[in-house]
Structure 1
Amino acid sequence: MAVATGLVATLALPGYAVNPAANADGVEAAEAMAQLRSTQSQSLTVEAATAQTVSRDQFTATTEEELAAAQAAAQAAAQAAAASAAAAERRAELAATYTAYSGPTAQDFLAAPPASYSQSAVVNIGLQYVGTPYRYGGTTPAGFDCSGFTAYVFAQVGISLPHSVSGQASMGTKISRADAVPGDLVILNDHSHVGIYMGNGAILDAPYPGKTVQARPLWTDAYYIVRIG
């Protein structure tokens, strides 16, 4: 039979652990510390945070296509400005030439008409003005518009034509194209233009601004022939 032998040990406690006076001092110290914390501590009241709206700045980036388009637009504007300046300079030159002209007018020719009129004479006279600049409203070699040119040429053979396409169309007789000869008038169907028929489908005329009196192929089939006289 086994017998367990118990061991008895006596534990010694520190003297202050069982000293009532020491324990009392510790309690008082704890109470004093608690009092100090309660009387000398600071409190901070934090109110509810005010909500603020935060926005993010927007930004855009230009694409290569947009840059190319802007550059093309700038180049086109520069070219248009240069063309406009050149046209203005040309108009000024023509205006100066027109102002300086002092030769005979259509009225001067009509005051002393020739004894006879021939269509070949109309052609020969008209060819003298090849290279004369177009000028809207022009009626002299300083610059012609279409009806001003034909009126000036016909005046030199003694025939007075009004300064308008429709007026000139009404001054003669409409004939077939097969009967047309050089020296007849070419009238566009809408009365927007007139010139001298040169034969073989050609016309001698003052075309439009920027061009000069010239003989050229007819560019349209919408026309008819009028014989004057």
Structure 2
Amino acid sequence: MNPTADLADVSQALARSGTGVAPRRAPVDAPPKRSRRRGYLANVVFMTLAGGLVATMAIPAYAFAPSSTESNFGATASTELTRSGAQTVQVADHAATVSVARDGFTATTPEELAAAAAAVAAKAAEARRQEVAAQMTSYAASYSGPSVAEYLANPSHPSFDLASVYGVASQYQGVPYVYGGATPAGFDCSGLIMYVYAQFGISLPHSSTGQGAAGTRIALADAQPGDLVIMDGHDGFYAGNGNILHAPYEGAAVRVQPIWTSSYYIVRLGI
């Protein structure tokens, strides 16, 4: 008996009688098991590649920059020497015996500088003395009126009062300032006061300090025109209302102007 043939006959008989069960078929759209495995592997590979690409793009730009201590073309010889610590410097044996000379260099000492400054000051003082002497010679030649000594010997105003003193002093407004001057050809500050008071028979030194010491200090509230305004190195006549009549400085003339400082005091003569 052939089993295979018998089984085929039985299957045909069942099929003809309609009482048998038809053989089971696999669904048409079901993929083979091998195809599913291949698709799974493809998905894994794709996700891995995508993740790597994202990670690469996320790396900061400075991660790709070369180190500041390295060259794109490799380390130089000096860099290699520095890294290896080879910093030895060879010095010739005779270097320790070399001496340092000034080679003719000279420097001015403080004493020499002081002497030079003193020489310049002395030269300027001498030039100033000669200038004043020439000025005084010209000044003396330009005036032929009474001198201070002549007025003291024979005062033109024997009656003394402050108003008269200020009236005489006012006549000399416009007279130029001359250093050491004590006549209407030219006045300095104390020369003006000396010349005016000499006309009233009052002798005063040719010095602002000496003139201040010759009188009596009074309060500013009691000051009258004709009193003296004494400053440090300067003086003049009090002109009332906070003003002074004086010979100010070279290049200017006798004038009245407001007192410009609070550092002064008032002196009255004849009391």
> TM-score per shorter chain, which class?
0.5 to 0.7
Structure 2's unaligned 5+ residue stretches are: 1-132
Q: Separation in 2 of the partners of 1:129 and 1:115?
A: 20
CA deviation string 1:181-205 (max 9, x = no partner) = 11100001x2x10100011000000
Give CA-to-partner distance per residue, 1:4-30, whole Å, 9 cap, x none. xxxxxxxxxxxxxxxxxxxxxxxxxxx
Which residue number in structure 1 is paired with residue 246 of structure 2? Answer: 205
Match of 1:148 in 2: 191
Aligned to 1:22: none
1:160-179 superposed Cα distances (whole Å, 9 cap, x missing partner): 11000111011100011011
Aligned AA (1:117): F
Distance in 1 between the 2:249 and 2:135 partners? 17
Task: Between the two structures, name the one with larger relative contact order (CA 8 Å, sep ≥ 6).
Answer: 1
Q: Give the Cα separation in 1 of the matches to 2:152 and 2:242.
A: 30
Report the CA distance between 1:112 and its aligned residue: 1.6
TM-score, normalised relative to structure 1 = 0.57
Which structure 2 residues correspond to residues 76-155 of structure 1 after superposition, within 5 A?
A: 96-113=138-155, 114-155=157-198
Q: Percent identity at matched positions?
A: 55
In 1, are the aligned partners of 2:169 and 2:196 still within 8 Å (CA)? Answer: yes
Q: Which residue of 2 aligns with 1:23?
A: none
Question: By how many angstroms is 1:100 displaced?
Answer: 2.1
Post-superposition shift, 1:92?
7.4
Q: Matches of residues 184-223 of structure 1 in structure 2 within 5 Å?
A: 184-188=227-231, 190=232, 192-223=233-264
Give the 3-state SS of the residue equivalent to 1:187 in structure 2: strand
* Greater Cα radius of gyration, structure 1 or 2: 2
Alignment of 1:4-83 (within 5 A): none
Report the equivalent of 1:160: 203
Contact map agreement 1:98 1:143 (CA 8 A) in 2: no
> Secondary structure, in 3 states, of the residue corresponding to 1:204?
strand
**Deviation for aligned residue 1:98:** 3.8
Q: Distance in 2 between matches of 1:94 and 1:164?
A: 17
- Distance in 2, matches of 1:173 and 1:162, equals 15
Tell whether the 8 Å contact from 1:140 to 1:149 is kept in structure 2 after alignment.
yes
- Aligned partner of 1:42 in structure 2 is none
Give the TM-score normalised by the residue count of structure 2: 0.48
